[in-house]
Structure 1
């Protein structure tokens, strides 16, 4: 077929060729491919089932559950829940996923009221996850040592022993240890107590007066040990004292002066140091050990020769600037006090007098009398010093 239009000629073969070229890049294919599966249809016999589902269906005969669960899910009785958790978390096709993935996999087939709480506890106790998964929590910081107790039952440590065979209805033991004396209390319990019940047990078995003391002394074993009347529930790890140790002598009694004051004999003065505006001395007492040494102010020393002997044997020891020590070991500061009073008196006497009365101010007369009394006291004290 041929034709002519506006000076151009065309044929039917050219029209067919152009129509075929326009269909090469068509957006929608003329025929759709058929869907193919890995296994042919004649090889598929049924759905895959899990062994744990069969166990759950069998357990429903003895424990059918509350009957208010979600549809198309099996209720899991209490004895079978650990197996379901292990199947959903530790099997080869799950490979220890996290909490949310394990929980989502369980909820596809099973349910029970505490599904989420039991799943979190199971995964938190999984040793494989603990060893191989990184911890994203902030660091807890450095460990601090426990405080050293200074008396019995001020610091305690307690723990629970669980999973024991039943004995008189009890399967748990609460152990309470005194960190000072290592005394132990063992309390049998029927089950693991709550925090409130544990507090009541501590108050009843530890803080009661019959356990804390004081206790009655039965007898004196030796100078370093006594026998106490303790409760039967106490168990002590006591040390042993040798019977061959020499007896400890009693410290000497204090002497009584004429005025009724008690004094103790000083072996020697060891050191001196500043305290406030005066000095204190470290004294070694006659008949007492090094642990009984004490710092005593100079006014408490009845014999001034002790201080003189100390400065004679320790000339490098610190002392007052004037180097004068009075009776009783009191450092004399009267020179400084007298100088201050004289300066103040000169300032007052050089001030203008009152024009209304023509006499000195009463304050000026008071300071002049105090200065005279201070000067006379200083002179009397200096006259008492040994030459």
Structure 2
């Protein structure tokens, strides 16, 4: 670029004219220079410009230019005029005609290169894997075999003789971005276009199954794993009960939570209003006053995995009363399906009367409880009320005349009640078998894991710091510690992963090969963060500083650019910049909102130390 000086610029001193040329060049190519990955070098035949940034006295014009230059990362290098001939080209008349350029070279930024394939080394390794005599004997054994340019071919496809070279081919046609990590059939088709070896199909299936990226990122399209295993049917009412909470209700008379208690045999339910989620001690008191008081102590209490049932008080209370406390499997509501279904029924009832009960739902709970317990239950064949007491409650607002009958004897009532409850047990068994048959049609039997096996864990129910579509579908692999039941397993987690370690088999996937597990994110102020290994590089995006970060426990394919505000590793950042002084660094604030790179702070501080008549920085 070049231009003429205007009348005012012609009056500049020589140093300012030279500096004006640099200023105009930076304005012209600002979009290229701002945020450049490498430090820009400016060559000048005016030696004094090298010391402009450290000058103690600057004119207002020079000061404005220095503030403009502070946005860029550059150095000024002196080059004598005899060696700086390229700069004279714009101000000299052409004396010769240069030949037209026949070829051009495209400059590709390093971060835009997908991969570098050294084909000559690959071909040379194939040639050197056997002697020429062996290759010739190999080609003569089959008419489909041939030798072209010293390379073996089978049916017009290049023969790959060694495992090392086959892994390279797999990397080219499965791993790199132009391949896209396809499944085994698509990877096989890609490889078969150009290459061949005897165990190609088997090797491709094995390598795809062993691909760690595929294991983490791909979802399963097969049936969910794990057949249904119904809970045993109780022998008497209120021997086995289940608990759950309904939250998020409007606050009425300081109550906002409903405790639902269900008998597993008769399906009889109690709906208890609570002011808040009760603590373990408060829950124990509620059960004694509202359940045990009328039905006696249960033998088993099934509940969800909420904190009330994990405290030592609750465990001690159950142990003292010889009650078994069972927690449902994480993210597997089928474990306590009856309570989940009852919650839906209760919510539906309250919604039906929402206009009337929005501000008085607590006073409607006893009506909802009566309506539910007096409703026919498909799995038992009777209503919960009849199954527990042996008769139906009178809920009609009128009395219907009935034929008079003799009052049955007490023994007959008891016998009838026993027959009813026995019939309920039979109906429950049939209902469970029917539900199991329907459930198993849509599920397949899961694999059996042994202690010590490695499995991947689905992230379906795991909260990441940032939720987006690129989060991995599986994390791990983790070691199986124990098989809790036929479809539930306990895993070994690092201390940083604070989640319950027991999972249903539908959330697990067998790890085919023994790969080193990636570390789980650590919790920092309640949020998950991954540990930084070191700082590799830095760059500017606009006015924001970004670092190239390798993550501890992850391979180089996981390296990523992260905003400096999200990198909480001050020691590693301070260690990086002294070793890489030419890289962009943290920015410091100057004046009223101006920001400059820390490498130019000293020069700008010096520019402040001028005479009182110098204009202030704004």
Instruction: Work out which of the two has the higher radius of gyration on C-alpha atoms and give 1 or 2.
Output: 1
| TM-score, length of structure 2 as denominator length | 0.16
Higher relative contact order (CA 8 A, sep 6+): 2
